[in-house]
Amino acid sequence: MAQIGSDINIAREFLDQGGLVAIPTETVYGLAANAFDANAIAKIFTTKERPSFDPLIVHADSLEKIANFVEDIPDQALKLAKAFWPGPLTLLLKKKNNIPDLVTSGLETVAVRIPRHPLTKLLLETLDFPLAAPSANPFGYISPTTAQHVEDQLGDKIPYILDGGACTVGVESTIIGFDNDTPVVYRLGGMGIEEIEKVVGKTKLMPHSSSNPAAPGMLKSHYAPKKQLILGDIPSLLEKHKGEAMAVLAFQETYSDLEHYHHLSEKGDLNEAAQNLFGKLRTLDNLPVDKIIAELVPNEGLGKAINDRLKRAAAE
């Protein structure tokens, strides 16, 4: 079992020694290591059983520190950084040589983000290096939004979990790269595309892929529970699967005649739904059922990221 606590000095000691520490961010918990230390980074991949073609996000607490490991910050990127950092936005920037290739899976760009969580901000301020951190879950499974989620799955593999409470956003950061000057959305996430487009104009969406090496990590099936997840119209699916052991995850609706039902937000609030999404999926995954039936949410604001995660959770 990992030690769970909120002492950034303990976290710093493990990180200074090249160890792994789970850290809270506003989006999801990350599994962090010194981004300049290839040995420490290798531990992230083995601990998560993550394939080495899936690159990591590097976290820092200031643009000055980021300038130490990226070649430059183009105008469009700087506009986004100034508008939304610290926050749930990741930018793809050209890396310097001090970022090991393992971090970027050999790509020329490194994914960078300034997270907003106060505890992790304090931790980053005291460190002499940025933190590479993927979500702190076994590869392909649901991302953790509490310290307990991390403990449940990685507790026997890491020494310390920095507990910063439940994540306030609940889905991973939005990832934006640049094709010349055009902003490209590599992953929908906690920062709404509508807000991003107000700052840099029209974006283009990079499609998912299960094999395209130009878009590593954008796997079609991801964020997935162990139980089969079926998406669609809940009443019709209930009818179709009558008699089977099922759990239901609705957006607002309550299905109180069912034994296992949950909803994401009774009042239909997409921010609350995002906060609840991964925790509810974990809860449902642990119920004595064979299938999870779920529906999409309104496709606006954070709803786009929620629907993206639901579709990937449902993909074969």
Q: How many residues of this chain bind Mg ion (CB under 5 A)? A: 1
Q: Is the dihedral of CA 47, 41, 275, 194 positive or negative?
A: negative
Q: How many residues of this chain bind ligand TXA (CB under 6 A)? A: 26
Beta strands in the chain (DSSP E): 3-5, 21-23, 30-34, 57-59, 89-94, 109-113, 131-132, 160-162, 174-179, 182-187, 204-205, 228-231, 246-250, 261-263, 291-294
Q: What are φ and ψ of residue 184, in 5° steps?
A: -115, 130
Please tell me the chain's helix, strand, coil percentages from 3-state DSSP, rounded to the nearest 5: 30, 20, 50
Exactly one of 120, 135, 145, 275 binds Mg ion (CB under 5 A); that residue is: 135
Interface with Mg ion, residue 47, by CB under 5 A: no
Residues 49-88: x/- map of binding to ligand TXA (CB under 6 A)?
-----xxxx-------------------------------
**Partner touching 107 among ligand TXA, Mg ion, none, CB below 5 to 8 Å by kind:** ligand TXA
Residues 20-39 that bind ligand TXA (CB under 6 A): 25, 27-28, 30
Give the number of other Cβ atoms within 10 Å of residue 115's Cβ: 27
CB of 23 to Mg ion, least distance (A): 14
Exactly one of 15, 111, 123, 196 binds ligand TXA (CB under 6 A); that residue is: 111
| Closer residue to Mg ion, CB minimum distance, 27 or 135 | 135
| Closer residue to Mg ion, CB minimum distance, 138 or 298 | 138
| Closer residue to Mg ion, CB minimum distance, 77 or 219 | 219
Interface with Mg ion, residue 168, by CB under 5 A: no
| Closer residue to Mg ion, CB minimum distance, 3 or 221 | 221
CB of 252 to ligand TXA, least distance (A): 26
CA angle centred on 61, ends 130 and 129, rounded to 5°: 20
Exactly one of 34, 120, 173, 307 binds ligand TXA (CB under 6 A); that residue is: 173
**Partner touching 123 among ligand TXA, Mg ion, none, CB below 5 to 8 Å by kind:** none
Give the number of other Cβ atoms within 10 Å of residue 252's Cβ: 14
Number of continuous H segments (helices) and E segments (strands) in the chain: 11, 15
Q: What are φ and ψ of residue 32, in 5° steps?
A: -100, 150
- CA distance linking residue 309 with residue 254, whole number of Å: 22
Interface with ligand TXA, residue 274, by CB under 6 A: no
Contact 14, 21 (CB under 8 A): yes
- Dmax (CA) for the chain in angstroms is 60
| Closer residue to ligand TXA, CB minimum distance, 54 or 101 | 54
**Segment interacting with Mg ion, rule: CB under 5 A, options 70-78, 101-109, 129-137, 286-294:** 129-137
Q: Which residues bind ligand TXA (CB under 6 A)?
A: 25, 27-28, 30, 54-57, 90, 92, 104, 107, 109-111, 113, 115, 133-135, 172-173, 175, 186, 216-217
Question: Residues interacting with Mg ion, by CB under 5 A?
Answer: 135
